[in-house]
Chain A
Amino acid sequence: MNKVELLAPAGDLERLKWACLYGADAIYLGGQKFSLRANATNFSLDEIKEGVIYAHNHNVKVYVTVNIVFHEDDFEGLVDYLKKLEEYNVDAIIASDMFILDILKENNINLEFHLSTQASCLNKETAKFFKKEGVKRAVLARECSKDDIKSIIDETGIDTEVFIHGAMCMAYSGRCTLSNYLTNRDSNRGACAQICRWVFDLYDEDEKINEDTDFSFSPKDLSLLNYIPELIDIGVKSFKIEGRMKSIYYVATLLSVYRRIIDSCYDGTYKYNKNDELEVYRCANRETLPQYFNKFPGVNEQYYIGRQENTNQDFLGVVLDYDEDKKEIILEQRNYFEVNDKINIFGPRKDSFSINVKYIKNEDGELVDAARHPQEILRIPCDKKVEKYDIIRISFIN
């Protein structure tokens, strides 16, 4: 039985490497052209080449998004770009504009085509159409329920990729141009201004409806954390985490939790763990819900008082090395912590553990009472051996 794929986002080369280490089976990324999230760092062609080599060395696949809705002036360089992706051994492209299927065939470019969620694959007939067209995999619309997903798989046999975690579009993906009309920024070419996070006054003719609570339509985030065994049972091929613009900490935390859950489903040790929910909630500070998976979303699946993600300061540092003689962690600081704080350390494919910070030394070996400076190199004592790329966070696990 093939194990389901855990697919992680990578906004740049550094995040790609972290995702490889923290348990991704595959990574998706955007190039500097033809990709949504036009204002993210994204990857140059050289970086894609380097990223693929790194990922393949770690037995991880790489998919490149070519998912803008093309305008007439956007074609220049596309064929050469796709040929480069093939040459660099990219495992698939994720695209929504259908003509790319013809471009691949006409130019003998051997790249697997994954249908982007922007194409609104919401029902079995849509899935059948694309399967006949040679689409290997469909990223299903986030509006699909469990029954929809199962029916599409059972009745079409197309490989399916399902979003299991991350932000949701308010609208059907690809069917929202609020950004175009309100800010002149083209949502379907990567410049979405996230109007769904704005607040508005609501009127009935001239009568203002809203008093204390403005009108808004921002969905809470998606999490299918507690439905992983069911998704595996119905035959989903790939579990996708949203968030190419998210931090290392976010991606590492989610991968760590979902990797653990998926593996436990296959080795027969799966059981519900409240701490998993706590971990995934705290790394984004946005509420997460199953959204469309088990019922049609209603009032509770949205926010009504604007943006609600607070700055997260759980991420305290990154392990650079471990001094076995002195039994000290050498770390790079990310957020403030101080002596006597309880911290938690987690790493790729291993259980986390917590310790109290007994002392902190700076680079000169001087004792300091707190870690105050971002990216400062520090030492703290720890009897248990840790490894490079382990992550240190505030201890909130019960």
Chain B
Amino acid sequence: MSEIFVPLPSKEYISLYLEQSFDGFLIGIEKFSSNFNYLYKIDDLKDVINDLKKHNLKLYVSFDRLYFNNEIEELKETITELLKLDITGICYTDVGLLNILTELNTDKEILWLSNHIGTNSKTINYLNKRGVNNVLLSNEITKDEIIKIKNNTDKNVKIGIQLYGFLNMATSSRKLLTNYFEYIDKKKEKDSYYMKDKVKKGTYKVVEGFNTNFYTGKVLNGIKFYPEFINNNIDFIVLDDYMLNENNFYNIIEAFSSLRRAHNDLGFVDKLEKVVDANTYYDTFYGFLDKKTVYRVEDYE
């Protein structure tokens, strides 16, 4: 059965979320994670872990960005501390972190947050031989590609896909908002703005933190694809609440967990898709799940 992983906005949400059927949390950690509403200190995690264990829930700690050389020593110390805790696994984006985990000879699960580049089974099989046992695929591939990757991937590696939330489009290490506001001599009041392209008038989010991240202006609502993913043995899905309202997110989890229980009821899917839309408060879309990208001019024409 396809597992459902969600972020944990704070410890107080555990009891609320427990009313739903899901399998665990992906959480961010101070200094080293990026795309989360809330970042935890290691000390805070100890309490969270005790609560989760009582309810048999998994906990993955997400290291979802690239690291500069001068961050490596502190990163190693943090990982070493984390591995002493009873967490399920570590998620990484930077291959350097895989090297650290390998050298520490960890028995925790390792999850690759592939962040635009997890687009084929051969790379996943390669990483599987190097200790990676879970992969969150790129958001820029189609439903058919996802299923094909699952079918061609070694059986001992779990394949997952994000099915809800804003989608990250790009990450720059530059302070692009700070720089722009300095140039136009205005005060930057916030860390998050919208940009609109002048041709298609599409709206996108620009968020500046450690990095500057670009996100879709629409929210992925992929619930209608979930039954097919369940039927094709996709191992897990991720529902993301970043920059969304945590209280409404409860309803999103409820919709997906309801569907998991009754995924062969197609009429139910349409109904739940509307529930997810109604609880999102942003326009929703299917991302690339139903749309293939092109890469040659002749294909484009």
* Interface residues of A, Cβ cutoff 8 Å to B: 38-39, 68-75, 96-99, 101-103, 119-120, 122-130, 132, 141, 143-144, 147-148, 151-152, 170-172, 174-178, 180-182, 184-186, 188-191, 198-205, 209-217, 219, 297-299, 301-302, 304
- Give 14 A-B contacts (CB < 8 Å), ordered by A residue: A102-B125, A122-B66, A125-B96, A125-B97, A174-B117, A177-B116, A186-B295, A188-B119, A191-B297, A198-B198, A200-B198, A211-B184, A217-B174, A302-B174
Given contacts A176-B170, A204-B190, contact A99 B202 (CB under 8 A): no
A202 to B171, CA, bound (A): 18
Best-buried of A128, A141, A219 by chain B (most CB within 10 Å): A128
- A171 touching B171, Cβ below 8 Å: yes
Chain B residues closer than 8 Å to A190, beta-carbon distance: 295-296
Question: Are A70 and B120 in touch, CB under 8 angstroms?
Answer: yes
- Give the residues in chain B near A126, CB-CB below 8 Å: 94-96, 99
Q: Give residues of chain B (145-193) contacting chain A, Cβ–Cβ below 8 Å.
A: 145, 148-149, 152, 167, 169-176, 178-180, 182-184, 186, 189-190, 193
Report the bound CA distance from A72 to B125 in whole Å: 13
Indicate if the CB atoms of A98 and B123 lie closer than 8 Å.
yes
The answer, among B68, B71, B169, for a CB contact under 8 Å with A176, is B169
Interface residues of B in 89-125 (CB under 8 A from A): 94-100, 102, 115-117, 119-123, 125
Interface status of B141 (Cβ within 8 A of chain A): yes
Chain B minimum-CB-distance residue to A200: B195
- 7 tightest A-B CB contacts, nearest first: A125-B96, A189-B295, A99-B122, A126-B96, A129-B99, A176-B170, A186-B293
Q: How far is the CB of A112 from chain B (nearest CB, A)?
A: 18
CB contact between B145 and one of A72, A120, A130, A170 (< 8 Å): that residue? A72
Chain A residues whose CB sits within 8 angstroms of the CB of B122 once the complex forms: 70, 75, 97, 99, 102-103
**Chain B residue at smallest Cβ distance from A133:** B130
Q: A147-B69, A180-B140, A186-B140 in contact; A215/B200 too (CB < 8 A)?
A: no
Per the 8 Å Cβ criterion, residues 66-91 of B in contact with A are 66-72
- Report the Cα distance A302→B97, complex, angstroms: 31
CA distance A119 to B93 in the complex (A): 11
Known: A177-B169, A304-B183. A99 touches B293 (CB 8 A): no
Q: Is B291 interfacial (CB-CB < 8 Å)?
A: yes
Residue from A147, A178, A198, A205 in contact with B169 in the complex, judged by beta carbons closer than 8 Å: A178
B268 sits at the interface (CB 8 A): no
Interface of B is mostly: mixed
A202–B94 CA distance with the chains assembled, in angstroms:
31
Chain B residue with Cβ nearest A206: B194
**Known: A71-B145, A182-B200. Is A125-B293 also a contact (CB below 8 A)?**
no
Q: Please encode chain B, from 267 to 301, with 1 for each CB lying within 8 Å of some chain A CB and 0 for all others.
A: 00000000000000000000010010111110010
Complex interface: chain B residues within 8 A of A68 (CB): 295
Contacts of A205 in B (CB 8 A): 194
A289–chain B nearest beta-carbon distance, Å:
13
User: Given known contacts A122-B66, A200-B197, A299-B179, is B96 in contact with A129 (CB within 8 Å)?
Assistant: yes
Chain B residues within 8 Å of A304, by CB: 180, 183-184
**Which residues from chain B contact A97 at a C-beta distance below 8 Å?**
117, 120, 122-123
Q: Is the CB of A125 within 8 A of B120?
A: no
Q: Are A70 and B123 in contact (CB under 8 A)?
A: yes
Please tell me if B216 contacts chain A, counting CB pairs below 8 Å: yes
Contacts of A302 in B (CB 8 A): 174, 176, 179, 183
B99 engages A74 (CB within 8 Å): no
A15 to B98, CA, bound (A): 40
Most buried by B among A73, A102, A103, A184: A184
| B286: min CB distance to chain A, Å | 13
| Inter-chain contact B99/A122, CB cutoff 8 Å | no
Q: A97-B122, A175-B116, A298-B179 are in contact. List 8 more A-B contacts (CB 8 A).
A: A72-B152, A98-B127, A120-B95, A128-B96, A129-B96, A129-B99, A147-B70, A215-B180
Shortest CB-to-CB span from B187 to chain A, Å, is: 11
Would you call B210 an interface residue if the criterion is a C-beta within 8 Å of the partner chain's C-beta atoms? no
Closest residue of chain A to B184 (Cβ to Cβ) is A213
In contact, A39 and B297 (Cβ under 8 angstroms): yes
Instruction: Write out the residue numbers on chain B whose beta carbons fall within 8 Å of the beta carbon of A170.
Output: 170, 172, 174, 176
**Interchain nearest-CB distance for B144 vs A (Å):** 9
CB distance from B245 to the nearest CB of A (A): 15
- Most A C-beta atoms less than 10 A away, residue of B172, B198, B288: B172
Tell me the complex Cα distance, A205–B196, Å: 12
Chain A neighbourhood of B96, CB < 8 A = 122-129
Which of A122, A132, A180, A199 is the one whose CB lies under 8 Å from B68? A122
Any A CB within 8 A of the CB of B25 = no
Point out the residues of chain A lying under 8 angstroms from B167, CB to CB.
Answer: 181
A123 CA to B99 CA, complexed, in Å: 11
| A202, B170: Cβ atoms closer than 8 Å | no
Q: Is B214 an interface residue (CB 8 A)?
A: yes
Closest to B125 in A: A99
For B123, what are the chain A residues with a Cβ–Cβ distance below 8 Å?
A: 70, 97-99
Given known A-B contacts A70-B123, A74-B120, A184-B291, A123 and B68 have beta carbons under 8 A apart: yes
Interchain CB contact under 8 A, A123 and B94: yes
Alpha-carbon distance between A129 and B103 when the two chains are bound, in angstroms: 10
B 1-18 binary contact with A (CB < 8 Å = 1; else 0): 000000000000000000
Contact A188 B116 (CB under 8 A): yes
Chain B residues, CB < 8 A from A201: 195-196, 198
Q: Please give the distance in Å from B294's CB to the nearest CB on chain A.
A: 6
